[in-house]
Each structure stands twice: as C-alpha cells, then as structure tokens.
Amino acid sequence: MRFPEYVMTVLENAGWHEGRRIGDDEMEPFERAHDGALGGLHEYGRAFLAEFGGLQLSYPSRRVARLLQTEIAEAEKARLARLQETPLGVSFDPVVALDYINVSWPARYAEQLHEQVNVVGWSEGDASLLMLSRKGCAYVGTGSWLAKIAESPDAAVVAILDSSDPLEIIDQ
C-alpha cells in the first residue's frame, strides 16, 4: 500500500484515488500562480499538483503535536497549543495558498535553501505554507520559521497527515 491506512482514509474522503490526475484546465491556474517571481512549476511540483491539486483535507491535528516538539519560539508554541484540539484543514491549491501569504515568503525560502520551491498548498489551522523543492523535498513555513518535513512528495503527504516525528527546523 502506498500510504498508511489513516492517510488513505483522509485522502479518499477528500476525493483522491490511486491514478487520480486533474485535467489541463484545472492545472492552468496552478501553472499561472507560479509564473513570474516563483519561476514556474518544476517537475515535482507539477506531478504533485496533477495528482493532489485541488483537494481539501480535514484531519485531527497530529502535525501540531509534532510542531510543539520542535525548537520554535515560545509564542509560536502557545499559539499552536491552542490549535492542538482543532481539526486542521489542508488545501493542496497554490492559488489559495498564495492568496493568504506574502509572496515574498517562497522567494525567501528558495534563497535560504539555494533552490527553487513550488507552493503546493496551505495548512489553514496552523497557517503554514506547504512547498516542494526542485529535489522533491517537502517543507512547511510560516512568516517566522521554515522546516523540512520529508524527503519526497509521498512522504510529505504522510508527514502532513500522520507523523509525530519532530520537524527539522531550518530557520526561525
């Protein structure tokens, strides 16, 4: 099985199925959102959005518990602790994500990582941006910190939905 049972349940409840691919008309806004300053969609971003793009996920906040185990500022920990009991929502839609954040965030993250990142979603509950690098690694970031969550897009889906591993904070 590609994903753990819990992850499969959340994905299937959102409308995902093995082999899912969105059409060119649905991909076009994602492509347009990455034009200009974001440098276009790279291979990993395009493949991820073709399969998961447009999905809206709702799940218990296991990731918040994971964030609380990391070395983040106390004020951020207090805010996240309040969210721990609230179900989180993730939108795998870069258009929605880029509407919520300062467009300078992805550019700053790309500079820190020394590689292009594609915005692939937005976590509404903890206000974090979901990104994939040109190497396929997955990151989350807010205005105040950036963390690596996985080495691959599939591992990122698992990390977002079902991991309790501490995050690798890159910058605060």
Predicted confidence at residue 72, as pLDDT, reads 61
What pLDDT was estimated at residue 172?
54
* pLDDT of 77 above 70: no
Collapsing DSSP to helix, strand or coil, 91 comes out as: strand
Higher model confidence: residue 115 or residue 103? 115
Position with higher pLDDT, 21 vs 81: 21
User: How far apart, in whole angstroms, are the C-alpha atoms of residue 30 and residue 68?
Assistant: 31
Q: Where are the domains of the chain?
A: 5-171
Q: What is the pLDDT of residues 117-149, one digit of tens each?
A: 999 998 876 678 899 999 999 998 887 788 899
Contact yes or no for 160/146 (Cβ under 8 A): no
Q: Of 63 and 78, which is predicted with more confidence?
A: 78
Backbone angles phi and psi of 38, in degrees to 5: -85, -5
pLDDT at 115 over 60: yes
Residue 45 CB: number of other CB atoms within 10 A? 27
- If pLDDT is split at 50, 70 and 90, which confidence band does 102 have? confident
Read off the pTM. 0.81
